[in-house]
Chain A
Amino acid sequence: MNTHPMKLKIDGVDVECSEGSTILTAAKTVGINIPTLCYLEGLTPYGGCRLCLVEVSGTNKLFPACATPVASGMEVTTQSPKLHEYRKMVLQTLLAERTHICSVCIANDHCELQTQTNQYGVDHVFYERNWSCNEIDSTHDFLVIDRNRCILCTRCVRACDEIEGVHTLDLKFHGKNTDVIMDQDELWSKACSCTSCRKCAKVCPVGAIYVEGENIEYTKDPQVIAFIVERRKCLK
């Protein structure tokens, strides 16, 4: 791999990083925090939630920082009134898409979507809410999926595929009909490829996948993915 250093500016700060780095990882090296939801260190970037959109000088287009490779000479802006409004809009659309009622959610106070909405001051949703009413699948011995709270970030799908290596979870359909499924759209108890490893519950940023009867703060452990990836590198 070419490790030719790339020089760019992020929020006016000179940054030097290796080729192939993304704007998000480059920003992290200089302590600039860009908000994310679907991104999780250790998994392939997905660029689905659009919360990490940033401005790049020379173009009007916004780029997802998690999935955009750096280029020499790039000038990136991560915080601006325009981006702030975009991020608020993204959060509102996520809230409007399904049924999110924090007060009675199992992930209340331990939810990344809730943290971001609080941080961005999203106290109202100005879009018509869908109020989805999907059946909850709790047929697994201890894992439960409530698709009404799913934000389709695909962290669970990617963790299941890339880290556990079984690909039990995937997506079906497109657009507003998209849903996370198990095997061939089976009930979880019938999904024989599932190893019950709990990684899906550990990485879920909201209260969509959880372990029944377990305190959510003990279940959630998204950093475990980066830990596993690093350990595996050591084994090679």
Chain B
Amino acid sequence: MSVSRLGTSAVLRGLGAAVPSRVVTNDELSQRLSTSDEWVRTRTGIAQRHVADAGTATADLAVEAGARALKSAGAGEADAVVCATTSPDRPMPATAPEVAARLGLPNVAAVRVDGGCAGVVYALATGAGLLAAGVAERVLVVGAEIMTRLVDPDDLGTAVLFGDGAGAVVLERGDADQPGAIGPFDLGSDGDLADLLAIPAGGSRRAVDADAIAERANFIHMDGKEVYRQAVRRMVESSRNVLEAAGLTVDDVDRMVGHQANARILDAVGDRLGVPVERRVSNVARYGNTSAASIPLALVDADLRPGELVLLTAFGAGLSWGSTLLTWPDLATS
């Protein structure tokens, strides 16, 4: 299909990903949690996840994915780095400057975007904004997570869901009718529901003291059922908003790349939007929920064809959500 959107735009030029080598299957988790492969698969669609070893930090995965994205763009450098992560190497400083420096990009603009599982869509919008503002000519946008460090290993409601990984894209300034053009964006939040998905301790609200540790408050707490409901509702609304803003309908969408949290959420969103099953991209079975890394990891796996209109939609802690559209370019990926 053809999309005509006038004006300048951010254009996607490169794509790369990195995941830790160790794979943890549902059967392995079932050895210490009272669950089973069948239980996890039927409720989440997840069969396995990649898990970082103790010596690997989020920036390590981000650097690997970022280098691959720059290579795929045929570019040695970028003049800004936006890193979406919920699981930074340290509470301070932001992970992005270290990622930039290790990629050989000293002194460039570098910032972390904390949009939970919707972070990468916010980071893409941030990158597009830096281009539009004239701050940068080429932006590296990374989503990188070591979520397995944030989950309570004994909490069945979350321990089976998350995985580790990173994905990155390169954005450059271009025209809205070029292959790779990205936008418009629909972004939103509902902070009244912040407690539905949160790590209660470890910030200025509550220290990680002995009580917090005893209550496991230093780990992710999630009201899974309400999050499920909100995720479906918000991704559907946001997808409709972004299509309307672009003057398109769901029939124009060649592929839907939703945040890979749970296969059943993706199906519920696809069913409501009317996206046929064969147009929905899903790799949650292999990686679990990798939060801000999930959409770029799915883009790598999706086998997208140049010219296809791709709908990206994500939802996560905050609550935060966001959607955008892009015309798939002809890319060398690795």
A and B are interacting partners: no
